[in-house]
């Protein structure tokens, strides 16, 4: 079971949000509620797993000088497929996440894992890495979403526990930065203790 | 008049970094020093404007007439990647010193969400400025929007770089050092920029 | 481990990648085209049903030009017209679906999209008092402007601009209705 560590690494050691500090744009923009954060994380994980698998398959055959355009094309293909699938079967989620679905193409996590991991490891390991980092990203987004939703709307996953609005700054721009900053402090403290 | 409104709106009201959350990764990574921040902003401004023009024309003359809008994501990112490569080659020939100064940042502009984000926004979103009915932008308005957006990017970057240079000399608690305190600072900046909403 | 970066290899590789990716995207597009159209259709039908009294059959879509702006409308037999009306709100475009029954009375309205401020203008989708005043609103008897402007619409607290835009959108829809139903334009 030595390969399972590829998955668990993505949660703490290689957490894309708090350790690698990658994929910041969707992290800040789509975490206005726990559900949005969860959905964005899963969408990114979908692309991440598929692109990791395909890139680790084709990496031996791709000449070094054209590898970045090739990786980008592969990732863009999967993002387009995801866009089409979401428009067809989950249109409400697609509208909420808006611009950030096509932006998965330039999400540094996806290209970063392709360039830094998938092209040097086997298909199985790349898939596991995709799952691990994807789950780590989803977890981070969901946690940030939960905090912002509790503070900003007084709700969690849509279930409101106060009347009226919360501290609205948290569902708007400033709240994203502040929550991420403070959560990073907590994460660092947790890592320092280990 | 509408051009002026587009300008003000893109720089202050809907600042690409502080309101739309695009271009955050380089923002956090490059803004330690004011000099690198200005260099990066200049490069980004150039790429965003050029990319917006090319992708707008591509969309208008090729994708829309043939009903190929679903190819927007792929074609736009490939156009951007090609443009950045070209800019690198041209810059190496024209100004090797600037090329050296920008270093790794130039190829990284390809993955800057701001570039792809602006390109897609310009062709998909309906804009409403100062009471006019919402409409899609024409090429001239798109160019002004792109330039203004990148100026807003530069403004936020340089303001932030200035603040970070100050922070570096201060006594920050250990757990907050580096990114956390930077993020909290940006959060307060974003709050300040929220005050601009509703102007246009 | 990777193949050599000769011109032939690079060209072959890029061509192969382009062809395969085009095939995949094209295939996905062909597979999802119908579900996407169906989903869009379902959304429109749901919003029409929300703003008009019960009707049978499929509403007929059309476009009409009123005062230089093109409006999309849906005619539901026996129920009235549903008009898509867009105005400039506080944070961006505000798009409503306005249902006007056969008597020229606004039956109901629903927001299709908006970029208003959460907690303020965004209340146009949650503030029941604000939304309910448009149900059964007779434009012949009451004025479609906020009370501040001398009309009969109660604005959302601290969101006059959003409320104005909302009232204007409904008013524009009523004008479209009058043009379609052959009446005179509402002043």
The tokens of C165 are what?
Answer: 């835009």
pLDDT tens track of chain A, all 194 residues? Answer: 467 777 777 777 878 888 888 888 889 989 988 999 999 999 999 999 999 999 999 888 888 888 888 899 999 999 999 999 999 999 888 988 888 999 999 998 998 888 888 888 888 888 988 999 999 999 999 999 999 999 988 888 878 888 777 888 888 889 899 999 999 999 888 888 87
Residue A113: closest CA among A162, A56, A32: A56
Residues in chain C: 187
Task: Find tokens 């930065």 and name the residue.
Answer: A177
| CB C120, CB B164: distance < 8 Å | no
Strand-pairing partners, residue C83, are: C73, C98
Q: Which residue has the tokens 């798109």?
A: B142
How many whole angstroms separate alpha carbon B178 and alpha carbon B170? 11
Does B191 reach chain A within 8 Å, measured CB to CB? Answer: yes
Residue C1: predicted pLDDT: 43
pTM of the full predicted structure? 0.86
Mean pLDDT of chain B: 85
C-alpha B76/C-alpha B54 separation (Å) is 9
Of A74, A88, A171, the CB nearest to C21: A74
Percentage of residues in chain B having pLDDT higher than 70? 94
How many domains are contained in chain C? 1
Q: In which domain, by residue range, is C134 found?
A: 51-181
Residues in A touching C18 (Cβ below 8 Å): 73
Question: Considering Cα of A141, then A144, then A148, then A149, what sign does the dihedral take?
Answer: positive
Q: Which residue has the higher pLDDT, C139 or C115?
A: C139
Q: What is the pLDDT of residues B70-81, one digit of tens each?
A: 888 899 999 999
- The secondary structure of chain B in percent helix, strand, coil, rounded to multiples of 5, reads 75, 0, 25
Model confidence pLDDT, tens digit, residues B98-114 = 788 777 777 888 888 89
Q: How does the average pLDDT of chain C come out, rounded? A: 85
Cα dihedral B177/B179/B185/B190 (nearest 10) = -170
pLDDT above 70 covers a percentage of chain C that reads 96
Predicted confidence (pLDDT) per residue in C140-170, tens digit: 888 888 888 888 888 888 888 889 889 999 9
Task: Decide if C108 is inside a domain.
Answer: yes
| Shortest Cα–Cα distance, C29 to chain B (Å) | 8
**Per-residue pLDDT tens over the stretch A174-190:** 989 999 999 999 988 88
The predicted structure's pLDDT at residue C185: 42
Judged by a CB distance cut-off of 8 A, whether residue A68 touches chain C is no
CA–CA gap between residue C86 and residue C74 (Å, rounded): 15
> How far apart (Å, rounded) are the C-alpha atoms in residues C75 and C83?
9
Question: How confident is the model at residue C2, as a pLDDT?
Answer: 56
Q: Which residue has the tokens 């050092």?
A: B177
The answer to whether the Cβ–Cβ distance between A80 and B180 falls below 8 Å is no
- Determine the average pLDDT of the residues in B155-182: 87
Quote the minimal CA–CA distance from B194 to chain A in Å: 8
Mean predicted confidence (pLDDT) in C118-139: 85
Could you please report the per-residue DSSP string of C79-133?
A: TEEEEEEEEE-SSSEEEEEEEEETTS-EEEEEEEE--PPTTTGGGGGT-HHHHHT
CB A72 within 8 Å of CB A111: yes
* Å between B199 CA and nearest CA of chain C: 9
* B67 near C CB under 8 A: no
* C-beta neighbour count of B25 within 10 angstroms: 21
Residue that has been written with the tokens 């969408």 in this structure: A43
Asked whether residue B188 carries a pLDDT value surpassing 80, the answer given is: yes
Q: Give the gyration radius of chain A's Cα atoms.
A: 17
Considering only CB atoms, B131 lies closest to which of C25, C88, C91, namely C88
pLDDT-based confidence at residue B133 (cuts at 50, 70, 90) = low
Residue C186: predicted pLDDT? 44
Q: Tokens representing A141?
A: 């987004």
CA separation (Å) from B167 to B32, B38, B159, C129?
10, 18, 13, 48
**Token reading at A106:** 């330039």
Q: Which of C21, C25, C92 sits opposite B128 (nearest CB)?
A: C92
Q: In sequence order, which residues have a C-beta less than 8 Å from that of residue B173 and are 6 or more positions away?
A: none
Q: What is the pLDDT of residue A2?
A: 65
Whole-number Å distance between alpha carbons of B186 and B199: 22
Closest to B143 measured CA to CA, from B36, B35, B41, B45: B45
Give the other-Cβ count within 10 Å of C41's Cβ: 11
Q: Is B183 on the interface with A (CB under 8 A)?
A: yes
Q: Hey, where are the domains in chain B?
A: 10-194
Residue with the larger pLDDT of the pair A12 and B88: B88
pLDDT for the residue numbered B141: 86
User: Which residue intervals of A30-105 are DSSP H helices?
Assistant: 34-58, 67-89, 91-97
| Residue C156: strand pairing partners | C159
pLDDT of residue C184: 41
Task: Output A173 or B134, whichever has higher pLDDT.
Answer: A173
Asked if B198 lies within 8 A of C90 by C-beta distance, the reply is yes
Neighbours of A104 (CB within 10 A): 27
Q: What are phi and psi of B104, to 5 degrees?
A: -75, -20
C45 domain residue, yes or no: no
Residue C76 sits at φ, ψ, to 5 deg, of -105, 120
Structure confidence by residue, pLDDT tens digits, C18-67: 899 989 999 999 999 999 999 988 888 888 988 888 888 888 888 888 88
Asked whether this complex has an ipTM greater than 0.90, the answer is no
Which among A54, A48, A47 is positioned nearest to A86, based on CA atoms?
A: A47
d(CA A143, CA C86): 36
Contacts of A17 (CB under 8 A, 6+ apart): A23, A24, A27, A136, A137, A140, A141, A144, A180
State yes or no: pLDDT of B35 exceeds 70. Answer: yes
Residue C178 tokens, joined: 């009058």
Q: Where are the alpha helices (DSSP H) in chain A?
A: 5-9, 24-29, 34-58, 67-89, 91-97, 108-113, 123-153, 173-193
> Is the Cβ pair B133, C21 closer than 8 Å?
no
Q: Which of B94, B83, B85, B104 is nearest to B39 (CA)?
A: B104
Whole-number Å distance between alpha carbons of B185 and B172: 12
Is the Cβ pair B179, A77 closer than 8 Å? Answer: no
Q: What is the dihedral of CA A154, A155, A159, A164, to 10 degrees?
A: 30
Instruction: Determine, yes or no, domain membership for C119.
Output: yes
pLDDT at B131 over 60: no
pLDDT per position as a tens digit, A91-100: 888 988 888 9
pLDDT for the residue B119:
92
pLDDT at B139 over 60: yes
Distance between CA atoms of B157 and B28, rounded to whole angstroms? 9
At A148 the pLDDT is 92
- Beta-carbon contacts of B42 under 8 Å, excluding residues fewer than 6 positions away, are B154
Model pLDDT, residue A118: 82
B35, two tokens: 């000099």
DSSP assignment string, chain C: -PPP--HHHHHHHHHHHHHHHHHHHHHHHHHHHHHHHHHHHHHHHHHHHHHS----SPPEEEEEEETTEEEEEEEETTTEEEEEEEEE-SSSEEEEEEEEETTS-EEEEEEEE--PPTTTGGGGGT-HHHHHTTTTB-TTTS-SSBGGGTSSBPPBTTBHHHHHHHHHHHHHHHHHHHHHHT-PPP-
Structure tokens at A48: 């991440």
């Amino acid at each position: 079971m030595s390969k399972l560590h590829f998955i668990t690494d993505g949660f703490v050691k290689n957490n894309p949000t708090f350790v690698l500090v990658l994929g910041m744009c969707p992290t800040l923009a789509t975490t206005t509620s726990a559900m949005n954060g969860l959905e964005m994380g899963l969408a990114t994980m979908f692309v991440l797993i598929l692109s990791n698998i395909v890139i680790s398959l084709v990496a031996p055959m791709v000449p070094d000088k054209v590898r970045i355009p090739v990786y980008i094309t592969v990732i863009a293909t999967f993002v387009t497929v995801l866009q089409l699938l979401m428009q067809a079967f989950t249109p409400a989620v697609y509208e909420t996440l808006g611009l950030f679905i096509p932006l998965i193409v330039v999400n540094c996590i996806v290209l970063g894992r392709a360039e830094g991991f998938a092209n040097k490891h086997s298909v199985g390991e790349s898939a596991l890495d995709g799952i691990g980092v994807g789950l780590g990203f989803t977890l981070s987004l969901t946690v940030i979403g939960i905090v912002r939703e509790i503070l900003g709307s007084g709700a969690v996953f849509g279930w409101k526990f106060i009347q009226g609005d919360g501290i609205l700054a948290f569902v708007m721009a400033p709240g994203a930065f502040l929550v991420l900053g403070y959560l990073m402090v907590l994460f660092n403290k947790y890592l320092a203790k280990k | 008049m509408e051009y002026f409104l587009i300008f003000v709106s893109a720089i202050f009201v809907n600042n690409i970094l502080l309101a739309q959350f695009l271009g955050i990764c380089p923002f956090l990574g490059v803004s330690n020093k004011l000099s690198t921040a200005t260099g990066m902003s200049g490069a980004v401004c150039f790429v965003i404007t050029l990319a917006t023009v090319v992708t707008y024309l591509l969309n208008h003359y090729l994708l829309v007439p043939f009903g190929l809008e679903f190819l927007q994501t792929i074609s736009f990112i490939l156009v951007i990647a090609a443009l950045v490569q070209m800019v690198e080659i041209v810059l190496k020939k024209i100004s090797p010193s600037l090329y050296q100064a920008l270093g790794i940042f130039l190829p990284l502009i390809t993955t800057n969400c701001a570039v792809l984000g602006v390109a897609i926004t310009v062709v998909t979103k309906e804009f409403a400025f100062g009471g006019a009915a919402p409409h899609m932008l024409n090429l001239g308005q798109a160019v002004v929007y792109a330039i203004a957006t990148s100026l807003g990017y530069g403004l936020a970057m340089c303001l932030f770089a200035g603040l970070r240079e100050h922070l570096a000399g201060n006594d920050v608690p250990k757990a907050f050092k580096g990114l956390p305190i930077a993020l909290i600072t940006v959060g307060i900046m974003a709050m300040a920029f929220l005050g601009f909403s509703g102007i246009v | 481990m990777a193949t050599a970066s000769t011109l032939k290899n690079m060209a072959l590789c890029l061509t192969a990648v382009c062809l395969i990716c085009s095939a995949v995207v094209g295939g996905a597009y062909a597979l999802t085209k119908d579900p996407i159209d169906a989903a869009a259709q379902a959304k429109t039908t749901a919003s029409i049903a929300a703003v008009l009294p019960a009707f049978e059959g499929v509403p007929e879509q059309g476009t009409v030009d009123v005062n230089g702006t093109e409006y999309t409308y849906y005619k539901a037999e026996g129920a009235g017209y549903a008009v898509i009306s867009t105005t400039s709100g506080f944070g961006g475009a505000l798009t409503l679906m306005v249902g006007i029954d056969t008597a020229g009375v606004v039956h109901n309205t629903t927001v299709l999209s908006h970029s208003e401020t959460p907690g303020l203008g965004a209340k146009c989708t949650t503030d029941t008092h604000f939304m309910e005043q448009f149900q059964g609103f007779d434009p012949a008897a009451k004025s479609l402007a906020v009370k501040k402007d001398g009309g009969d619409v109660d604005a959302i607290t601290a969101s006059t601009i959003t409320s104005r835009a909302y009232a204007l959108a409904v008013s524009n829809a009523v004008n479209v209705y009058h043009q379609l139903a052959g009446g005179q334009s509402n002043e």
